[in-house]
Amino acid sequence: MKKVTGIGGIFFKCNDPGATRQWYHDHLGLATDDYGSNFEWRQADDGKRKGFTQWSPFDKNTEYFRSAEQDFMINYRVENLDDLLAQLEAAGVKIVGEVTRHDFGRFVHIVDCDGRTVELWEPNDDEYDEIVEGRTK
């Protein structure tokens, strides 16, 4: 069974997310919006299907990372989230909170062996593509 299929996002804390997004837009050419920027790519096992990696600056006081000391969080794209969670629970991996569902996929946080919170995302890339297209119009 595939577990992680790619990087779904890079999230990091900063003093002023809006200013950070603008700096990266102005100086490095990222197409930014209120959430950050998206990098579109094609899936290795099906080149006709799109995939996305989200780049997002968060406010330095965010609680989304589940830890005040953690300055960044990686979001991993996964398949079969329910099966993976059952395996992780059986192995004693700490799962934080409940699985959340959005039109563009399902999410859950886990804690790795170093105490870092990481996010698992079972994406709905077709819906996510529509959202990204709507933001850039």
**From edge to edge, which strands make up the β-sheet containing 95-102?**
37-43, 46-59, 4-14, 72-78, 117-123, 105-111, 95-102
Give CA–CA dist 120/79, Å, rounded.
Answer: 9
Q: Where are the domains of the chain?
A: 4-136
**pTM of structure:** 0.88
pLDDT at residue 137 is higher than 60 = no
> What residues contact residue 6 under an 8 Å CB cut-off, 6+ apart?
51, 53, 76, 77
Give CA–CA dist 32/40, Å, rounded.
Answer: 13
Give CA–CA dist 36/75, Å, rounded.
Answer: 14
**pLDDT digit string, tens, across residues 31-80:** 999 999 999 999 888 888 888 999 999 999 999 998 888 999 999 999 99
> What residues contact residue 94 under an 8 Å CB cut-off, 6+ apart?
110, 111
CATH code assigned to 4-136 = 3.10.180.10
Q: What are the b/e assignments for 98-124, b being 16+ CB within 10 Å? A: eeeeeebbbbbbbeeeeebbbbbbbbb
- Please report, rounded to a whole number, the percentage of residues in the chain having pLDDT higher than 70: 97
